[in-house]
Amino acid sequence: MNAVVVYGATGHTGRFIVAELLERGFTTVVSGRDAARLQELAAGWGDVEVRPATVDDPSSLDRALAGAAAVINAAGPFAVTSGPVVEAALRAGIPYVDVAAEIEANVSTFADYADAAQEAGTAVVPAMAFFGGLGDLLATAAMGEWTEADEVHVAYGLSSWHPTNGTREAGQVSHERRAGRRVRFTDGELQYHDDESTKEDWDFPEPLGRRIVLPEFSMADIVTVPSHLAVPKVRTYMAVEAARDLFDQDTPAPEAVDASGRSDQTFVVDVLVRAKGVERRATASGQDIYAVTAPLAVEAVRRILAGQTRTKGVASAGAIFDAADFLMALAPHVTVELPH
């Protein structure tokens, strides 16, 4: 069976991924721990196979992945799920893609499975999502022929951020794993610290324009970008409006405004790469950070299965794919501006 398994198919992002796979004509297997919810959703999806599995039962994961061509892990917290699902994918000898935004979970995937994935000769691509994947592709495309840079800055201009329950749960796990400290990537390494948060201005492309952002609002890009680009400093920034929504426990979950289930949230990801006084910029814009993760993850699987990759083993989006070509393939979901 040439199918793609979605683990965590009942979640908010997982449902977008299933819909994207079906729209592209992939044979789709839906999996996760809630068998009843899987069956309920499958009735609406139609032509999907249901294979419940839990991460604390390796044999159930093996059954879920049996005969499949690839697996997309959309089940957080990834601190709990990524290891077991990666290991199941390696046992099955199939590619693994996840949508993890958790910094520590991504660090663990790179550190713990590099040798095994290389030996298996298969692809393991963490953070193939809005956070981690998109910024890495933009930074890689902006670098172009440069072999190194002094710094990479990734600014997120979100009109709002209505977090899912999964986002809140994953954030709490990360907060606990780092004992409440903040984290940055500077001097070529991740550094944990207790410095107070500050505010800066960031000039986004029009029509967004100048916005107040929180610097060192660190996202998965501080793991993915330096995993393959020679850059000693990576900073990420978040628009204060979005950060305020995230921190407010009363902010409701996303609400659909169209038939696809997208919310009315809009985003601009603005990446600035600086080397020896020269700057290059790449930007991406679109609607709904959760929905846009689906074409990112599914396009990654499509390219891996088609052999359109540059490396094997554990690799970020920018390392394994032709970044500029990948970004252009995201239309109409994402509008991209790259350096000429």
User: Rounded to an integer, what distance in angstroms lies between the CA atom of residue 327 and that of residue 190?
Assistant: 27
Asked if the model's pLDDT at residue 291 lies above 70, the reply is: yes
Q: Which residues contact 35 (CB under 8 A, 6 or more apart)?
A: 50, 52
Whether the Cβ atoms of residue 142 and residue 273 lie closer than 8 Å to each other: yes
Q: Are 142 and 201 within one domain?
A: yes
Whether the Cβ atoms of residue 89 and residue 76 lie closer than 8 Å to each other: no
Instruction: Give the model's pLDDT for residue 2.
Output: 81
Q: Are 84 and 24 within one domain?
A: yes
Whether the model pTM is above 0.95: yes
Among 67, 266, 75, residue whose Cα is nearest residue 169? 75
User: CATH number of the domain that 226 lies in?
Assistant: 3.30.360.10
Q: Where do the DSSP E strands lie in the chain?
A: 3-7, 27-31, 48-50, 70-73, 96-98, 123-125, 151-158, 182-186, 189-193, 200-203, 210-215, 234-239, 266-275, 278-287, 313-314, 334-337
User: Rounded to an integer, what distance in angstroms lies between the CA atom of residue 274 and that of residue 40?
Assistant: 50
Range of the domain at 250: 130-288
User: Quick one: CA torsion of 285, 286, 290, 294, rounded to 10 degrees?
Assistant: -100
When divided into structural domains, the chain yields a total of 2
Q: Are 228 and 86 within one domain?
A: no
Q: Are 163 and 262 within one domain?
A: yes
Mean pLDDT of the chain: 96
Asked if the model's pLDDT at residue 1 lies above 70, the reply is: no
Q: Are 112 and 137 within one domain?
A: no
- Within a domain: residue 328? no
- Within a domain: residue 335? no
- Residue 240: count other Cβ atoms within 10 Å of its Cβ: 14
- The pLDDT tens digits for 120-162 are 999 999 999 999 999 999 999 999 999 999 999 999 999 999 9
- Residue 61: count other Cβ atoms within 10 Å of its Cβ: 26
Buried b or exposed e, range 14-49, using 16+ CB within 10 angstroms: bbbbbbbbbeeebbbbbbbbeeeebeebbeebeebe
Q: How confident is the model at residue 174 (pLDDT cuts 50, 70, 90)?
A: confident
User: CATH number of the domain that 70 lies in?
Assistant: 3.40.50.720
